[in-house]
Amino acid sequence: MAIYCALMLTNTLQWGVRQSAEVENQMISVERVLALNANIKPGWPTSGQIDFRNVSLRYEENQPMVLKNISFTISSGEKVPVMSLIMWEQIFCSIITRLSYRRCLFQIGIVGRTGAGKSSLISCLLRLTEPAGQINIDGVDIGKLGLHTLRKNISIIPQDPVLFNGSLRMNLDPFDEYSDDQLWNALNEVQLKEGVQASPDGLDQTVEEGGSNLSVGQRQLVCLARAILSHNRILLIDEATANVDSKADELIQRTIREKFKQCTVLTVAHRLQTIMDSTRVMVISAGKIHVRQSLPLKELDAPHSLLQDRASLFSRLVRQADDATAERLHNIAREAYKKRNILTPPF
């Protein structure tokens, strides 16, 4: 009897495992149905506009809110560096969009201390956590999309570049979607073409696990080339230049400015001067847009203007730097402000 019961239990466990696998397979079908129900158009997203509407988030039921009813819009083609400093773990978002009228460049920056919402905003956008409120991309509620549909349309360059053991071709084009000419063009954009051509194996040269046979800068540039190939309208860059030299940093920033003009780019950065030439800065504190102490206004203004208000959180942040650095940052903000006011057409 004991042997019989043991056999029956084994059969029951096997049935449970099969049912679990079947449920997982069927959930893929459910995600596809949900994606169809979201009424997304072919080629979505076409512009990359991101809308946060009354978004609130807490990680656990008994934990405090990390985002509190926050709303903002990132328009199509804007570049958003989110800057993280070692001293304060600051969050800086610089949103850059190029206007056709007189070729003016407009930027918006978002600043906040540790816990202000940098990681939480990114987590919400990728649906790593499910917030209250609504997040739209090109008018589509991402909460109604399947995760595969959402995430395949967002390119990511992480702080630790993700490369796999195999050929360079496989790392650039894992699903064999692009021609060799497209791969070479992408490598040329990130200035890796000559080095790859010098190798006897070319695109088929070996990339070791984690890209250990490449430098950190080269690994980041391979990831950047992969993002160029994908042609996604939204790009997330998670401190991609934190571990590279200034030359590679400059190349990455220039490539992003030139090759992702029409994309929405959210960048977690670490250099303060990245946002000093922004058109405006939005300061976030405790999950909300910070309100100035000196004026009953939200801290949303040009960096130069905020620096003139010594009571502003942004001004206090800059004063955390040494005198020489603070003066240089003031000069960058001042010159950008003057240039923009000269070039910006009257309305």
Query: pLDDT tens digits for 67-77?
Result: 888 877 777 76
Instruction: Assess whether pLDDT exceeds 80 at residue 165.
Output: yes
Residue 117 is predicted with a pLDDT of: 58
* 307 close to 330: Cβ distance less than 8 angstroms: yes
Residue 66 is predicted with a pLDDT of: 84
Nearest to 231 by CA among 262, 253, 187, 192: 262
Residue 137 is predicted with a pLDDT of: 93
CA distance 302 to 115: 23
CA distance 273 to 184: 33
**Residue 343 DSSP label:** H
- How many Cβ atoms sit within 10 Å of the Cβ of residue 251? 19
Q: Which is more confident, 95 or 139?
A: 139
The rounded mean pLDDT for the chain is 78
Residue 318 is predicted with a pLDDT of: 85
Look at 73-77, 253-257, 332-336 and tell me which has the smallest mean pLDDT: 73-77
Q: Which is more confident, 338 or 197?
A: 197
**What number is the average pLDDT over the span 244-254?**
78
Residue ranges in 65-191 assigned as alpha helix (H): 118-126, 147-152, 168-172, 180-189
Residue 171 is predicted with a pLDDT of: 94
Distances (CA, A) of 313 to 40, 83, 336: 40, 15, 20
Look at 126-135, 177-186, 272-281 and tell me which has the smallest mean pLDDT: 272-281
Q: How confident is the model at residue 84 (pLDDT cuts 50, 70, 90)?
A: very low
Instruction: Assess whether pLDDT exceeds 80 at residue 232.
Output: yes
Q: How confident is the model at residue 279 (pLDDT cuts 50, 70, 90)?
A: low
Residue 338 is predicted with a pLDDT of: 84
Q: Is the dihedral of CA 269, 208, 198, 173 positive or negative?
A: negative
Q: At what angle do helices 216-230 and 246-259 cross, to 10 degrees?
A: 0
At which residue do the structure tokens 């600043």 appear? 111
DSSP β-bridge partners for residue 70 = 55
Look at 94-98, 310-314, 341-345 and tell me which has the smallest mean pLDDT: 94-98
**Residue 279 DSSP label:** S
Q: How confident is the model at residue 112 (pLDDT cuts 50, 70, 90)?
A: low
* 241 close to 64: Cβ distance less than 8 angstroms: no
Instruction: Assess whether pLDDT exceeds 90 at residue 336.
Output: no
The residue ranges of every structural domain in the chain are 50-163+214-343
Instruction: Assess whether pLDDT exceeds 80 at residue 172.
Output: yes
- Beta-strand pair 280-285/105-112: parallel
Look at 134-148, 201-215, 227-241 and tell me which has the smallest mean pLDDT: 227-241
- How many Cβ atoms sit within 10 Å of the Cβ of residue 317? 24
Q: How confident is the model at residue 24 (pLDDT cuts 50, 70, 90)?
A: confident
Task: For domain 50-163+214-343, give the CATH number.
Answer: 3.40.50.300
CA distance 299 to 306: 8
Nearest to 192 by CA among 159, 222, 155, 213: 222
* 139 close to 46: Cβ distance less than 8 angstroms: no
Instruction: Assess whether pLDDT exceeds 80 at residue 285.
Output: no
Residue ranges in the chain assigned as alpha helix (H): 2-37, 118-126, 147-152, 168-172, 180-189, 193-198, 216-230, 246-259, 303-308, 313-319, 323-343
Q: How confident is the model at residue 123 (pLDDT cuts 50, 70, 90)?
A: confident
At which residue do the structure tokens 């206007």 appear? 99
Instruction: Assess whether pLDDT exceeds 70 at residue 139.
Output: yes
